[in-house]
Structure 1
Amino acid sequence: MKAAILFEPRSELRIEDVTVSKPGPHEVLIRTAATGVCRSDLHFVDGAYPHAMPCIPGHEAAGIVEQVGSEVRALRPGDAVITCLSAYCGECEFCVTGRLSLCLGAATRRGKGEPPRLTLTADGSVVNQMLNLSAYAEQMLVHEHACVAINPDMPLDRACVIGCAVTTGAGAVFNAARLTPGETVAVIGCGGIGLAAVNAARIAGAGRIIALDPVPEKRALAEKLGATDSFDPSADGTAGTVIELTRGGVHHAIEAVGRPASGDLAVKLLRRGGTATILGMMPLDHKVGLSAMDLLGSKKLQGALMGDNRFPVDIPRLVDFYMRGMLDLDSIIAERVPLADINHAFDRLRQGDATRSVVVYQ
């Protein structure tokens, strides 16, 4: 198969031939249909987060099952699936207490002494799998607990963005914030994750949804997806305007971009008793905090890895929201490109003026 390989940080991905192993007992071989280009991948490509090299990035994908291992029971060839990096073992403390997204997933990867899932066809050397998936490739070999079957009528070029952006953004609203109808929410950063949070807040019945992004086109798109108000967070006085508009601050602030200033703004916008939820991948040495007065005002700060998802349940529901016209995925996708244009898609992501690029495979 063809795959986009990162051989070293801060370099372009190269399209190479990769050999895929046969599925083990609990593994699934998927023919990739579409892969979203997510900012999380960019953190690894640009060297902000470490990873073993060479590797195939990509973690937001949808496709069709081609083969299943001998012990796989919930999936069969021909199933349409969405993958998720939150591969879960089903046995650890996090899994048995319903916090699947926190599972470290060691049991879902091949162990020492087992053949690798991916190797370079040219010389047989190991290609590391990123985030349990490695989705910038024509095929994926994953553990059965890293994907879920979906409605076969769901368009796969839209389905792929559910695997990360929508699961994370909507999960922040439904699972982490547990937004109550009528509450106010501010979403900071209107990329794929932020726009999904805006859309989910509308579905959840938020009283006021405030979108904050420096790019006018993204603010306009947020309003299309349900934002009642939108502002440029870099403009003077924006925080004060939002606090005045909401009569003391928002009930929920969701940070969806991963910049230190955005985390600080999320805390600043809270009313007494409000909760800030950080979704973005901040610089590894950065800290977001609450002041003594924030604590006295019962303000809360939390992370929500992948939206605190339970993806085997959450993803089919999100697909259903799309099929019923409640979840707008079409507006989130800015362009569809072939695998050969993956570096172009990353360049657009670095510019920060587009929403989601999706790689499609022929």
Structure 2
Amino acid sequence: MRAIVFDGTANTLVDGITVRDPGAGEVLVRIVASGLCQSDLSVVNGKIPFPAPVILGHEGAGVVEAVGPGVSTPAVGDHVVLSTLATCGQCPSCAAGRPTMCRSSFGTSATPFRHGDTAIHSFAALSTFAERIVVQAGQAVTIPEDVPLSTACLIGCAVLTGSGAVLNRARVEPGDSVVVIGAGGIGLNVIQAARVAGAVRIIAVDTNPAKEPQARLFGATDFVDATAGDPVAAIRDLTGGGADHVFDCVGGEAITRQAMEMLDWGGQLIMLGVAGPDARLSVPASTFYLDRSVLGCRYGSSRPGADIPKYVDLYRSGRFLLDELVTRTYPLADFEVLLDDARHGRLDRGVLLMPA
């Protein structure tokens, strides 16, 4: 089979890759579509250290081709959306229904792929830039066959992360005010989840004014061009003092400091953007005296087995926009074109389509 292999310097389309057979509790999935996420770019540009060679990609959907011993769900032929959460299923966090807090689901490194005698790492317990992968059965959530896999793949990261941050972590309520810094793939899902949650004011902030129409399509009531003046002053003016929730979908010391200043008394900052490993956040201690808080958020505090079907239902009912997230699709051979488009901000999401 073929896959995009990152050797620590360059990405190369390689034929002749093999993947091991599924073991107990595992399934083999033929990847149909995969989105390119900022975390993949962060490995390529060195922001996230990761061993090489590796097959990146963690936003995928496909069809189950084989199941290992003990697997009853999903079944061969099922269409599935894939989750990065390869949990143990036994720890207190798993038992409490908090899979993003399972320590077994974070930071593990496996080599299920080979190219000749060379072992190749998986990424985020997936590696969806390959034509076939092996995952835990619980990572493959069945969806109806009428949902396009080219759209459904984005649920696996952009939707779970962005929408989950709103509905699971921040718990935005009707009447709340929301600021979303960064109107990319994650930010647009924060925006539309805030709309579904009943937020009355949803303000998108971005340095690219061309993103305003898309942000408004997904539910933004206002748009602030961060290059046109002081975004903090603009937010305070629009909200009458500050927002109930600010979602930082970009990351970085200066942006996070501004995000804190956008909060109203009792407001909360939810951090989604990945800052560099050496980044340090510095804000005045007085910022917290009026019940302001900062919340980290891993993967939207998601429960994929429950959340993926919920988002599919919202999509099928017309309340969630997913097709509109896909700016462009690419064959595997055009992976470098996809990378260039993503680096230059031309995409909400670009999607790789695998050959049938």
The percent of aligned pairs where both chains have the same amino acid is: 38
**Aligned counterpart in structure 1 of residue 208 of structure 2, from 206, 211, 215:** 215
- Give the match for residue 229 of structure 2: 236
SS of the equivalent of 1:210 reads strand
SS of the equivalent of 2:336 reads helix
CA separation of 1:108/1:276 partners in 2, compared to 1, >3 Å: closer, same or farther?
closer
- Give the match for residue 119 of structure 1: 114
- Give the match for residue 87 of structure 1: 86
Report if aligned partners of 2:267, 2:293 keep a CA contact under 8 Å in 1: yes
Report if aligned partners of 1:5, 1:16 keep a CA contact under 8 Å in 2: no
1:147 aligns to 2:146 (yes or no): no
For residues 286-317 of structure 1, the C-alpha deviation after alignment (integer angstroms, 9 at most, x for no partner) is 12354222111110001101111111100110
Report if aligned partners of 1:3, 1:18 keep a CA contact under 8 Å in 2: yes
Q: What letter matches 1:73 in structure 2?
A: S
For residues 315-351 of structure 1, the C-alpha deviation after alignment (integer angstroms, 9 at most, x for no partner) is 1100111111111112211100001111211111111
SS of the equivalent of 1:348 reads helix
Structure 2 length normalisation: TM-score?
0.96
- Give the match for residue 7 of structure 2: 7
Q: What letter matches 1:66 in structure 2?
A: E
| Aligned pairs for 1:273-288 within 5 A | 273-288=266-281
Mapped partners of 1:164, 1:102: distance in 2: 16
Report if aligned partners of 2:224, 2:234 keep a CA contact under 8 Å in 1: no
CA separation of 1:31/1:208 partners in 2, compared to 1, >3 Å: closer, same or farther?
same
Report if aligned partners of 2:248, 2:273 keep a CA contact under 8 Å in 1: yes
Q: 1:223 deviation in Å?
A: 0.5
Report if aligned partners of 1:186, 1:250 keep a CA contact under 8 Å in 2: yes
Q: What letter matches 1:61 in structure 2?
A: G
Alpha-carbon RMSD across the aligned residues, in angstroms, is 1.7
Q: 1:247 deviation in Å?
A: 1.0
- Give the match for residue 16 of structure 2: 17
- Give the match for residue 247 of structure 1: 240
SS of the equivalent of 2:329 reads strand
1:332 aligns to 2:334 (yes or no): no
Q: 1:258 deviation in Å?
A: 2.5
Report if aligned partners of 2:20, 2:113 keep a CA contact under 8 Å in 1: yes
Mapped partners of 2:117, 2:294: distance in 1: 47
CA separation of 1:88/1:185 partners in 2, compared to 1, >3 Å: closer, same or farther?
same
- Give the match for residue 168 of structure 1: 161
CA separation of 1:289/1:90 partners in 2, compared to 1, >3 Å: closer, same or farther?
farther
Deviates more, 1:327-336 or 1:255-264: 255-264
- Give the match for residue 128 of structure 1: 121
SS of the equivalent of 2:119 reads coil
SS of the equivalent of 2:87 reads coil
CA separation of 1:331/1:259 partners in 2, compared to 1, >3 Å: closer, same or farther?
farther
Structure 2: gaps spanning 5 or more residues: none
SS of the equivalent of 1:318 reads helix
SS of the equivalent of 1:31 reads strand
Q: What letter matches 1:244 in structure 2?
A: D
- Give the match for residue 250 of structure 2: 257
Report if aligned partners of 1:99, 1:310 keep a CA contact under 8 Å in 2: yes
- Give the match for residue 57 of structure 1: 56
SS of the equivalent of 2:86 reads coil
CA separation of 1:107/1:204 partners in 2, compared to 1, >3 Å: closer, same or farther?
closer
Q: 1:264 deviation in Å?
A: 1.9
Q: 1:200 deviation in Å?
A: 0.6
For residues 192-231 of structure 1, the C-alpha deviation after alignment (integer angstroms, 9 at most, x for no partner) is 0000110111111101000011112222200011000001
Q: 1:106 deviation in Å?
A: 5.9
CA separation of 1:109/1:30 partners in 2, compared to 1, >3 Å: closer, same or farther?
farther
Report if aligned partners of 2:4, 2:11 keep a CA contact under 8 Å in 1: no
- Give the match for residue 103 of structure 2: 104
Report if aligned partners of 1:192, 1:332 keep a CA contact under 8 Å in 2: yes
Report if aligned partners of 2:79, 2:145 keep a CA contact under 8 Å in 1: yes
Q: What letter matches 2:8 in structure 1?
A: E
1:344 aligns to 2:337 (yes or no): yes
- Give the match for residue 66 of structure 2: 67
Structure 1: gaps spanning 5 or more residues: none
Report if aligned partners of 2:2, 2:13 keep a CA contact under 8 Å in 1: no
Structure 1 length normalisation: TM-score?
0.94
CA separation of 1:107/1:267 partners in 2, compared to 1, >3 Å: closer, same or farther?
closer
1:138 aligns to 2:137 (yes or no): no
CA separation of 1:107/1:168 partners in 2, compared to 1, >3 Å: closer, same or farther?
closer
Report if aligned partners of 1:89, 1:108 keep a CA contact under 8 Å in 2: no
Report if aligned partners of 1:187, 1:211 keep a CA contact under 8 Å in 2: yes
SS of the equivalent of 2:103 reads coil
